[in-house]
Structure 1
Amino acid sequence: MSYDLIATEFLVRADILAPGLVEGLYLQGSVALGDYHPGVSDIDFVAVTQDPADPALVREIHHGMPRRPHFDGLYVTWEDLRADPSTVPPGPAVHENRILPSSRFERHLVTWHVLAQAGVALRGPAKPEIFTDWPALAASTRENLESYWRPWSQSIRRHPGSLTSWAVSWGVLGVTRLRHSLVLGRVTSKTEAGRYALRSYPGWDRILEEALRLRCGGAPQYRNPFHRRTDFLGYLDYALHPTAPPDTPLLH
């Protein structure tokens, strides 16, 4: 089922079970960034209400929604979108078919920036007022490379999971996306970032092509998973080195 049909089903359910609750519905993530791949991507939504949504209503609306692809997202108010997300209180969210009654899931600057850049409006103003702060997002992106991705790269090399296709796609494109976003001064997609790295990071074509293949489809670049693992871990070392890929915005 396509993402627009699933989103439409959500709106129908919401309007029947809680008339007037959902005043705005926006798709962010891979759909907004033009990188949605059926069977690989989730559907990331932001539902906007006038007042904080009742978690019981949220649970009722999402009960019976298709389980694949995941329809993941959060409920916020219009006032929340106008505020720094670090100051927005926890609220209802949906993650991998689980209802989170009070969560900070996706309540961060990345979500706000993607909505402002390219959010797909299915209900509500096409360009709602949304708080953005690129310097703060750039700083948190660099911090994320150090606090999440560097420890992750160290742990995955000691784990058999480093041989899996999931780890290759998640690691290579995840790190590359952050580097690429820093270069362009906007949130970019995994596929766009991978293609940028093919042009900009010499010597890593094979593992980058493999990561893109796992996301977008195509012929495998490796027959031996251990050879792939070696290139994968080597690429992480390269991409996470603070002086390797440039991470300052390009001049336009």
Structure 2
Amino acid sequence: MTRLGEIPARSCASYLELADRHAPGLVEGLYLQGSVALGDFTPGASDIDFVAVVAEPFDPAPLRAVHAELKARHPKPHFDGLYVTWDDLREDPERSPAGVSVHEWRVRESSRFERHLVTWHVLAQGGVAVRGPEVETLGVHTDWAALAEGTRANLATYWTRWLERSSRPATWMGMAALSDYQTTWGVLGVTRLHHTLASGRVTSKTAAGAYALAAFGERWHRIVREAVRIRTGGPALYRSPFRRRADMLAYMSMVLNTRPMVRE
């Protein structure tokens, strides 16, 4: 439990106690991916991302009580994740059907939430076993070429559209881009994908910030440090949210138009 840290360990212990009470024998394995697996869990900023393993398809009804009671005990951070079988982990998640997931305490019976290659790669890279065999023994499916292709597509579609919409100052997206949340989401979001392509592995937001300071010129250091500062705390580096928005948009445009040295 040392690697988990106090907050994830507490939530996991409560979750397993509730799962075993409401659905005895259902959860055979519990693994953490996301920020915990990447060594970047930040209290107040990070959610707990889990993968629960079951033996076979099941009735998800008892899970509503599990996650409702878990929320009552530990409302923050969110305990988000999905339910899979052992065989699911050995298969390409992009080809598997939708399944049971939990997002912001809502149990969904048929969802694609987190059921993608990024989750499988993070789990394989550094997933933390809370219950069940060590991750290295699970044979988790990975496919770097497909993940890299999907990452490039994400930059070209979602993030390019996000930048375009946030660049219209009089719109809702343009106004939202003045906020702390959107600043760190935008700056570290595109940087993380750029860094993932350059490094050949899924990387964390904090690691992406360090990468940006090393890879990009000093012109961009202020906005990168501000994005990291929003996650980790400290005095603001901007007095004007309008100046910060301008720097964020310019930085994101630069990253989206800079081709990373891709490790194939």
Q: TM tier, shorter chain?
A: over 0.9
**Residue 118 (structure 1) aligned with residue 126 (structure 2):** yes
CA distance in 2, matches of 1:232, 1:169: 9
Identify the match of residue 18 of structure 1 among 16, 23, 30: 23
Partner of 2:47: 42
* Map of 1:9 onto structure 2: 14
Counterpart of 2:160 in structure 1 is 150
Q: Cα offset for 1:134?
A: 0.3
1:116 corresponds to which letter in structure 2? A
Do the aligned partners of 2:198 and 2:261 also contact (CA within 8 Å) in 1? yes
Q: Give the C-alpha shift of residue 60 in structure 1.
A: 2.2
* Counterpart-to-counterpart distance in 2, 1:134 and 1:167: 29
Distance 2:222 2:105 in 1: 35
Identity of aligned residues (%): 56
Q: CA deviation at 1:144?
A: 0.5
Aligned residue among 234, 243, 247 for 1:231: 247
State the superposition RMSD in angstroms: 1.2
Aligned ranges for residues 168-247 of structure 1 at < 5 Å?
168-202=183-217, 203-241=219-257, 244-247=258-261
Supply the distance in 2 between the matched residues of 1:92 and 1:247 (Cα, whole angstroms).
37
1:160 corresponds to: 175
| TM-aligned CA deviation for residue 156 of structure 1 | 1.3
Q: CA deviation at 1:162?
A: 1.1
Instruction: Look up the SS of the partner of 2:70 in the other structure.
Output: coil
Q: 1-side partners of 2:121 and 2:222: how far apart?
A: 32
Tell me if structure 2 keeps the 8 A contact 1:53–1:75. Answer: no
Give the distance between the partners of 2:193 and 2:166, measured in 1 at CA: 19
The 5-angstrom pairing of residues 73-92 of structure 1 reads 73-92=81-100
Between the two proteins, the alignment pairs up a number of residues equal to 248
- Report runs of 4+ in structure 1 exceeding 6 Å deviation: none
TM-score by length of 2: 0.91
Indicate conservation of the 8 Å contact 1:23/1:49, yes or no: yes
Q: Report the residue type matching 1:35 in the other structure.
A: D
Deviations 1:89-119 (A, max 9, x none): 1111000111111111100000000000000
Give the Å deviation of 1:157.
Answer: 1.8
Q: Which residue of 1 aligns with 2:3?
A: none
> Residues 198-232 of structure 1: CA distance to partner in whole angstroms, max 9, x if unpaired?
01100200000000001111221111111111101
| 1:201 and 1:245 in contact (8 A); partners too | no
Determine helix, strand or coil for the equivalent of 2:16.
helix
Q: Contact conserved, 1:41 with 1:69, CA < 8 A, in 2?
A: yes
Which position in structure 2 is the counterpart of 1:130? 140
Q: Which moved more, 1:66-75 or 1:206-215?
A: 66-75
The DSSP-based 3-state class of the residue aligned with 2:32 is strand
* 1:92–1:103 contact (8 Å) kept in structure 2: yes
Q: What's the counterpart of residue 30 of structure 1?
A: 35
Q: Report the equivalent of 1:249.
A: 263
Match of 1:70 in 2: 78
Q: Secondary structure at the match of 1:63?
A: helix
Alpha-carbon shift at residue 245 of structure 1 (Å): 4.7
